[in-house]
């Protein structure tokens, strides 16, 4: 495979864009391991991200997130689903250059519908601003330029199944 970014791929994008599901499917296609950075972080911390935010504040969580990202950029043959806020820090955006970066996009309403349909995920995630539908739109507006800055490839997830999205990314990787 003429893959010039090292053998790791990061999926970035907002909550509800399907990063975890697509990471698993793409990992299976490539014969690579896959992981969700938030899940790994929760496992190591022994609590949910919501609890981490409550205990250590957002800054504490972001420090852990950066430390984990630094570690993940050393691994080979992995598809990595990142947290939606990974692009906020310039240091993280620089670290993401250690792999291929694919941005999963959708409009705020679609994201909100998916988040609202998945209450277990909502329980584990802290509020970032005002919560709900309004927060999704606010956060997206703040971050879109940052996702664009790091992404080498962008997939619109409004249409298509997670399988089709994984196949599209796989096709891009093979051709790149």
Q: Which residues bind ligand S3P (CB under 6 A)?
A: 15, 38, 49, 83-85, 125-126, 128
Pick between residue 49 and residue 95 the one whose CB is nearest to ligand S3P: 49
Is 151:101 a contact under the CB 8 Å cutoff? yes
Pick between residue 3 and residue 135 the one whose CB is nearest to ligand S3P: 135
Minimum distance, C-beta of residue 114 to ligand S3P, in the bound complex (Å): 11
Minimum distance, C-beta of residue 62 to ligand S3P, in the bound complex (Å): 9
CA distance 79 to 15: 17
Pick between residue 8 and residue 15 the one whose CB is nearest to ligand S3P: 15
Three-class HEC string of 34-70: EEEHHHHHHHHHCCCHHHHHHHHHHHHHHHHHHHHHH
Minimum distance, C-beta of residue 2 to ligand S3P, in the bound complex (Å): 30
Pick between residue 7 and residue 121 the one whose CB is nearest to ligand S3P: 121
Start-to-end CA distance of the chain, whole Å, equals 8
Minimum distance, C-beta of residue 161 to ligand S3P, in the bound complex (Å): 19
Minimum distance, C-beta of residue 79 to ligand S3P, in the bound complex (Å): 14
CA distance 23 to 60: 26
DSSP 97: G
DSSP 14: -
CA distance 22 to 161: 9
DSSP 13: -
Pick between residue 4 and residue 145 the one whose CB is nearest to ligand S3P: 145
**Collapsing DSSP states into helix, strand and coil, what is residue 80?**
strand
């Amino acid at each position: 495979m003429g893959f010039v970014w090292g053998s790791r791929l990061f999926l970035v994008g907002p909550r509800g864009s399907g990063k975890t599901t697509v990471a698993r499917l793409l990992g299976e296609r490539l014969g690579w391991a896959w992981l969700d950075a938030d899940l790994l972080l929760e496992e190591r911390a022994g609590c949910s991200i919501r609890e981490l935010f409550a205990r250590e504040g957002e800054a504490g969580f972001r420090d852990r997130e950066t430390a984990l990202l630094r570690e993940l950029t050393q691994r080979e043959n992995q598809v990595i689903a990142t947290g939606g806020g990974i692009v906020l820090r310039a240091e993280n955006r620089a670290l993401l250059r250690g792999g291929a970066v694919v941005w999963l996009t959708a409009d705020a309403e679609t994201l909100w519908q998916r988040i609202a349909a998945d209450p277990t995920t909502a329980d584990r995630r802290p509020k970032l601003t005002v919560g709900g539908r309004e927060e999704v739109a606010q956060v997206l507006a703040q971050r879109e330029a940052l996702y664009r800055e790091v992404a080498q490839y962008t997939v619109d997830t409004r249409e298509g199944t997670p399988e089709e999205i994984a196949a599209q990314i796989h096709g891009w990787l093979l051709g790149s």
